[in-house]
Structure 1
């Protein structure tokens, strides 16, 4: 009888811990981003290397303080990707990370497939929004758009332990707010 009680207790603790981990990963760390009309979607201009807002509607986003790469956003725009490419810095490829299931406007697999197929074009939104992390924006041919964070070359080097070298900015000191937010 004692063995069954211990086994049941272990099982109960495992279920509670598993439920807590699931909740924290899917809901606990994420917050909805409060929109800032006219400023939420920006692209880096070719001629100035400065982020400029573009026209958009239907903006919604989530973010988390636990990681600089948890940002995801969805929006629509009347601007075509071809028009944007003439003025703003375009990136080759892109790897959107999977969003929690409840944030259903951001389907990373479909966005990634669109990037591979060439129906979604990727633009630089903000360089070093956090140390080693860039915000990128994908725009589809039908005007849907998505934004997410990706590691840049300095971030890749920093997080895999490779010396970052002189081409990377100085790493912020602990307790500072980083390169931008």
Structure 2
């Protein structure tokens, strides 16, 4: 779910005051991998009873899909696992580097672009990492399923579940 920047600042201030945490999941277009990761993590913290302790969102390094719903194949995959999302694609902003504690991206290209953008933000506080760095199966890269099949979306889902579980365990 995306929020206006002012709302993010207010929420982040409140989260910091109460010991809350925040994570932004990022991929190229914010219609495949990152909204799946966002929805998976939202479900995990909801099931764990800690949803009120987290601010969770996703974004894109590009502006290609701004305002678009996630890819229908990703939505179908999530739905088959009992997860719904109403996310709309958005591009990562300079404020995100200050408002989020963690920015977790899907591949090396996302990482390079985020680090490039972070250079324009003085004293940013976000930890920029590959989501795959939390994978117990050591699959660092979560490949873009856009040009693939429904099975590729399922693979992304499974990777996101593994990684998000470990990330949550490490940050509880």
TMscore range, shorter length: under 0.3
TM-score (norm 1): 0.23
TM-score (norm 2): 0.23
Higher helix share goes to which structure?
2
Please identify the structure whose Cα radius of gyration is greater: 1
Higher RCO structure (Cα 8 Å, ≥6 apart): 2
